[in-house]
Chain A
């Protein structure tokens, strides 16, 4: 079974508007971490934001926030005030276990239109 599901292969957003990228996950481990990464065309993976399974509040990092709904097993990324430089592939990932093994979704390609 897919552990991380990103249902939006591609998304478009107008510059300066907010956009939500969806991510649902599946795990029976009570201790896990959820992450979002940005991958521009250069290929580098850029860490954006982290949410721990025990964290009570939603994580925020600048223009990025993570809408964590534990009961629904969703961890959507919200990007506020989109910029042209936000155009990239975005990956949701889940880390479980002591070795920190990660499972990645298939990604969402975000295109910001001027």
Chain B
């Protein structure tokens, strides 16, 4: 069965410090990978998605970046955190399960709660 890991679970970082959040998926190959951010009491905002190694698409311009160094590894980074980067970060994966339909079920990791102080 497939599992998705995220770490750390919680993180408190000062403004201006760097960030690295890691996500790994087990039990599947060639997944699509996604990073979302959720502000308190709000829905999820798609930040980045990747359909393959080294292929990253950014949805929202900001001071965050993403990388996919391996097939099942997705990393979210920042060189200098802002207060507005605080939130709940969720990694998700999906694979096409209905050929030709263009719709995917997404499965989420446990999330990282980031507080920038």
Contacts and interface: CB of A to CB of B under 8 A. Distances in A.
A50 B108 contact: no
Contacts of B104: 33, 95, 100
B114 to A, nearest CB: 12
Interface string A11-40: 000000000000000000101110101000
A53 B108 CA distance: 22
B46 to A, nearest CB: 6
Contacts, number: 81
B75 interface: no
Interface of A: 4, 29, 31-33, 35, 37, 43-45, 47, 50, 52-54, 91, 93, 95-107
25 contacts: A31-B103, A32-B103, A33-B102, A43-B88, A43-B113, A47-B108, A50-B103, A52-B101, A54-B101, A93-B44, A95-B103, A98-B102, A99-B32, A99-B51, A99-B57, A100-B32, A100-B49, A100-B106, A101-B46, A102-B44, A103-B46, A104-B43, A104-B44, A104-B45, A107-B41
